[in-house]
Structure 1
Amino acid sequence: MADPSYDWAALYQKHRDAMYGVAYEVLRGSGRWDLAADAVQEAMVSLMKAPPSEPPRSWEALLVVTAKRRALDIVRSAAVVRGVEYAEEYVAGGAAPDEDDALERLEKMARARAAIARLDAQEHYVLAQYIVLDRPRDEVAAELGVTPGRISQINTKVLSKINAAVEGGG
């Protein structure tokens, strides 16, 4: 049972970003970053079920450490389920085992950003509205004063430019 003298909602609101950040970093290396919110939730539930007998000197420290422990539990349980052994320094937030892949992904993202920066205004609009926001082609066409077929052409052109930059390195 949660101790009513602690305002758990306020504590969560104040420290959720720090908790999420730590959980995300721990889980990112194992490819389970998508479970960071679960680690934060489990941390809050465990503290609510067994609250500290006296208020801690730093709520942030307690909440962040608890979230980190829950994230480590998730990584370790994933390792057991998959039968994969993770090096302890890797689990604790050390360097990723395949840094070359991570570097390559970062370089590709940088090339994609550069290609996007070179798009004209109409191409940017189609990228944002039609591709990213998945708005109907007819609506985007009406806003730009072109035919829906032209939106498809611009879409293909934008994706080709980005793909060429990412894959070709240019």
Structure 2
Amino acid sequence: MADADIDWAALYQKHRNAMYGVAYEVLRGSGRVDLAADAVQEAMVSLMKSPPAETPRSWEPLLVVTAERRALDMVRSAAVVRGFEFSEEFLPGEVGSGEDETLERLEKIARARPVIARLDAQEHYVLAQYIVLDRLRGDVAAELGVTPARVS
């Protein structure tokens, strides 16, 4: 439960940019920078639920490290659940023309198929709506009756 003596809103306003910056950098390697705000939100919620026993001299290091850990959790959880390690081959690249680029793209798709095949029906729906059709996470979440973070 949130400690009544701590002004969480003021802490968030003061340190949100630093928290977001760290989360963004961690998630950039996985190609999921869209989750940086979620990492910041989860960091704040976890600290509000379980505040430090003693008030820290400076809140920024605690808030930044917590946001970084939440972002790392997101990267690890996606890699473990989906059964692959994030690498450059899954990141968007330049669109090229020619036979070599087409062959490379087809090879990447072939490597992704087994991972996609392990998804359940709801995960397939989310993949189609959120990733392929580029629909807003909130809209897909509302349709499924889950939180936007769950869609991510």
Q: How would you bin the TM-score normalised by the shorter chain?
A: 0.5 to 0.7
- Equivalents in 1 of 2:49, 2:88: separation in Å? 39
Please give the secondary structure, in 1, of the residue aligned with 2:37. Answer: helix
Shift of 1:4: 0.5
The equivalent of 1:140 in structure 2 is none
Please give the secondary structure, in 2, of the residue aligned with 1:55. Answer: coil
Paired amino acid for 1:70: R
- Equivalents in 2 of 1:67, 1:56: separation in Å? 16
The equivalent of 2:12 in structure 1 is 12
TM-score by length of 1: 0.51
- Equivalents in 2 of 1:57, 1:103: separation in Å? 44
The equivalent of 2:24 in structure 1 is 24
The equivalent of 1:67 in structure 2 is 67
C-alpha RMSD over aligned residues: 2.1
The equivalent of 2:56 in structure 1 is 56
In the TM superposition, 1:90-109 aligns within 5 A as 97-98=87-88
- Equivalents in 1 of 2:3, 2:41: separation in Å? 17
Deviations 1:98-135 (A, max 9, x none): 49x88969xxxxxxxxxxxxxxxxxxxxxxxxxxxxxx
Cα–Cα, structure 1 residues 15 and 57, in superposed 2: closer, same or farther, change >3 Å?
Answer: same
> If you compute each CA radius of gyration, which structure gives the higher value, 1 or 2?
1
- Equivalents in 1 of 2:84, 2:93: separation in Å? 23
Give ranges in structure 1 of 5+ residues lacking alignment: 87-96, 106-170
2:27 corresponds to 1:42: no
Matched pairs, number: 94
Please give the secondary structure, in 2, of the residue aligned with 1:56. Answer: coil
TM-score by length of 2: 0.57
Give ranges in structure 2 of 5+ residues lacking alignment: 96-152
What percent identity do the matched residue pairs reach? 80
Deviations 1:1-45 (A, max 9, x none): 100000000000000000000000000110111000000000000
Paired amino acid for 1:32: R
Deviations 1:60-102 (A, max 9, x none): 000000000000000001101221125xxxxxxxxxx549x88
- Equivalents in 2 of 1:83, 1:76: separation in Å? 10
- Equivalents in 1 of 2:29, 2:70: separation in Å? 15
